[in-house]
C-alpha cells in the first residue's frame, strides 16, 4: 500500500504537548481507514493553564521541542499543522438555517448546502466569541426531516439543524501566535473535545446517543452525540490535576510525589482482574518503591475513598449536570465514554457509574497503525482525533462528518494576518503606474 498525504498535528494541553505526524494511503482516506503514525513526541507543557496559553514564550519553547522531536522520528518536515483549542471559554449552541433551493426542478447541490449552513451561522454572539465549527446535525427537505445528506435530492425548501462551537477570540489569537512564533502555519483549529470524539467513538455509539468526556489535567471536555451527530459541547474547569493537588494537601507531600502516587495507584488498579476489583484493594498499600519521604504504607480507605473518590464524584456530578442542562439526557442510550489521561484514575469507572447511573467505558484511540506503542493510550485521544480531522478535511467532503469542512476554516492557510496585509499592499503597489 502506497502511503502519502503527510499531516501534522499538535495537541496543546495543560500537562503535556503532543505532536504527531501521520500518513494515509493513496487517495483521501475513508473515515474508518487506519492512519499510519510516522512521528510522535510528547513533552511537558509550559505556559499553559486550564487549557489556555498564559505565557507565549514558554509555550512556544514547548511546541518547538515537541514538533522537532516528531519531525526527527518521521524523517520528514512540515510547515503547517492542525492544532486544538481548549478552555472554559468554549461555548456551543444549536442553530437552524433555511434557504430556497436554487434550482428545485433539478436537484439540491453543494452550493445549496453551503448557503443553508451559512444561514445557520447567522447567530448573535458576544464580540469576544468567534465561531470555530458549524456541524450539521440533520437536514429537512420540504417536510421530510432527518435527512443526513441532501445532495442529489429534490425539493423546494432546504433547512438544516446545526451545532455551533465557539471560542474566545483572544484565546484563538494567542494560540495562533504561539504556533506561528514556533515557525509553523496554522491549518485549522479544532475543539479538543470534538477531536477526542473522532478518535475514540464508533459510529454505533454516536447513533445510540453517547456522552464523551475527555478528562484532562485542568479541564474536562464534554461532547454529546445524538442520532449520529454532535449536538452539545462544553468544558468544565476540573481535571485530574485537582486529584493530584488533593493528594498533596491531604498527605502533606509534594505535587511531584502526589502525581507519582496517583499514577502508581491507577496502574495497580488497572492490573487487577475484574473479579479482584469487586473485592477492595488491600487495606494497606505498600508504596516503599516510590521513595516518598515519610510514606511507606497507606490506608486504601484513607487515600482512595477519602481523597481521590470525592474529587472524582465532583467531576462526574459536573458532567451529569452539563448533560441535564443540554436537554439531551433522555437521548443517552450508549452511556458515558471517558478518555484522556484522567480516565485512567483508580476507581474512575466505579465512581462514574454510581454518580451518573450510566454504563462507563474507558476508551483509547482507534483506527491507527504504525508507531502506536505510546500513541495508543487515552492521553493521546485529542492528538489522534486531530489527525483524523485533518485528513478528512483534505477531502472535498468528509463521508463520516457530513460537512464541507472548508466552512470550519477561519484562519488564512499558511498566512497570518500581518503577512496578508503586507502582501496586499505590495500587490497594490505593483498595479500603480
Q: Domains in the chain and their CATH numbers?
A: 91-166 (3.30.1490), 202-362 (3.30.420.40)
* Contact criterion met (CB below 8 Å) for 225 and 209: yes
pLDDT single digits (tens) 46-104 = 999 998 999 999 999 999 999 999 999 999 999 999 999 999 999 999 999 999 998 88
What is the predicted pLDDT for the residue at 406? Answer: 39
Cα–Cα nearest to 9, from 41, 49, 54, 33: 41
What is the predicted pLDDT for the residue at 398? Answer: 38
pLDDT single digits (tens) 105-161 = 889 999 999 999 999 999 999 999 999 999 999 999 998 999 999 999 999 999 999
Beta bridge pairs of residue 360: 336
What is the predicted pLDDT for the residue at 5? Answer: 76
- Number of helical (H) and strand (E) elements in the chain, helices listed first: 13, 19
What would the grid cell of residue 259 be? 502525581
- Break the chain down into helix, strand, coil percent, rounded to 5: 40, 30, 30
Q: Distance between CA 17 and CA 147 in Å, rounded?
A: 39
Q: Distance between CA 272 and CA 248 in Å, rounded?
A: 25
Give the pLDDT means over successive 10-residue stretches in the chain (433 positions).
76 96 67 81 95 95 97 93 97 97 89 96 94 96 93 95 97 97 96 97 96 97 97 97 96 95 87 56 79 88 93 98 97 97 94 97 93 90 95 57 38 36 43 46
DSSP string, 40-98: EEEEE--SEETTEES-HHHHHHHHHHHHHHHHHHHT---SEEEEEE-STT-EEEEEEEE
What is the predicted pLDDT for the residue at 359? Answer: 96
What is the predicted pLDDT for the residue at 399? Answer: 38
Amino acid at each position: 500500500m502506497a502511503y502519502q498525504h503527510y499531516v501534522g498535528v499538535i495537541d496543546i494541553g495543560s500537562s503535556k504537548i503532543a505532536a504527531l505526524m501521520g500518513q494515509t494511503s493513496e487517495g483521501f482516506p475513508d473515515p474508518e481507514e487506519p492512519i499510519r503514525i510516522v512521528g510522535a513526541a510528547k513533552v511537558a507543557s509550559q505556559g499553559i493553564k486550564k487549557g489556555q496559553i498564559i505565557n507565549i514564550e514558554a509555550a512556544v519553547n514547548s511546541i518547538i521541542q515537541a514538533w522537532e522531536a516528531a519531525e526527527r522520528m518521521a524523517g520528514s518536515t512540515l510547515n503547517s499543522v492542525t492544532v486544538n483549542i481548549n478552555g472554559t471559554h468554549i461555548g456551543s449552541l444549536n442553530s437552524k438555517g433555511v434557504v430556497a433551493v436554487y434550482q428545485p426542478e433539478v436537484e439540491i447541490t453543494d452550493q445549496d448546502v453551503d448557503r443553508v449552513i451559512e444561514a445557520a451561522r447567522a447567530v448573535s454572539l458576544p464580540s469576544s466569541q468567534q465561531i470555530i465549527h458549524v456541524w450539521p446535525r440533520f437536514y429537512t427537505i420540504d417536510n421530510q426531516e432527518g435527512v443526513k445528506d441532501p445532495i442529489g435530492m429534490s425539493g423546494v425548501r432546504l433547512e438544516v439543524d446545526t451545532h455551533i462551537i465557539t471560542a474566545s477570540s483572544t484565546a484563538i489569537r494567542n494560540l495562533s501566535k504561539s504556533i506561528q512564533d514556533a515557525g509553523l502555519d496554522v491549518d485549522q483549529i479544532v475543539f479538543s473535545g470534538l477531536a477526542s470524539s473522532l478518535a475514540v467513538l464508533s459510529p454505533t455509539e454516536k447513533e445510540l446517543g453517547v456522552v464523551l468526556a475527555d478528562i484532562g489535567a485542568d479541564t474536562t471536555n464534554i461532547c454529546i452525540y445524538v442520532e449520529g451527530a454532535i449536538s452539545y459541547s462544553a468544558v468544565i474547569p476540573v481535571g485530574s490535576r485537582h486529584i493530584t493537588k488533593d493528594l498533596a494537601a491531604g498527605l502533606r507531600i509534594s505535587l511531584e510525589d502526589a502525581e507519582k502516587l496517583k499514577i502508581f495507584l491507577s496502574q495497580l488498579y488497572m492490573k487487577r482482574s475484574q473479579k479482584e476489583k469487586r473485592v477492595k484493594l488491600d487495606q494497606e498499600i505498600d508504596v516503599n518503591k516510590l521513595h516518598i519521604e515519610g510514606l511507606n504504607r497507606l490506608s486504601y480507605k484513607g487515600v482512595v475513598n477519602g481523597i481521590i473518590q470525592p474529587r472524582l464524584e465532583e467531576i462526574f456530578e459536573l458532567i451529569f449536570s452539563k448533560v441535564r442542562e443540554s436537554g439531551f439526557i433522555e437521548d443517552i442510550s450508549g452511556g458515558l465514554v471517558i478518555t484522556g489521561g484522567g480516565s485512567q484514575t483508580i476507581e474512575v469507572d466505579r465512581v462514574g457509574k454510581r454518580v451518573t447511573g450510566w454504563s462507563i467505558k474507558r476508551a483509547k484511540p482507534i483506527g491507527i497503525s504504525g508507531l502506536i506503542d505510546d500513541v495508543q493510550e487515552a492521553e493521546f485521544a485529542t492528538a489522534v482525533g486531530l489527525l483524523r480531522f485533518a485528513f478528512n478535511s483534505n477531502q472535498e467532503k468528509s463521508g463520516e462528518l457530513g460537512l464541507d469542512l472548508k466552512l470550519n476554516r477561519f484562519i488564512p492557510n499558511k498566512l497570518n494576518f500581518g503577512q496578508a496585509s503586507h502582501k496586499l499592499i505590495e500587490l497594490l503597489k505593483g498595479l500603480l503606474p
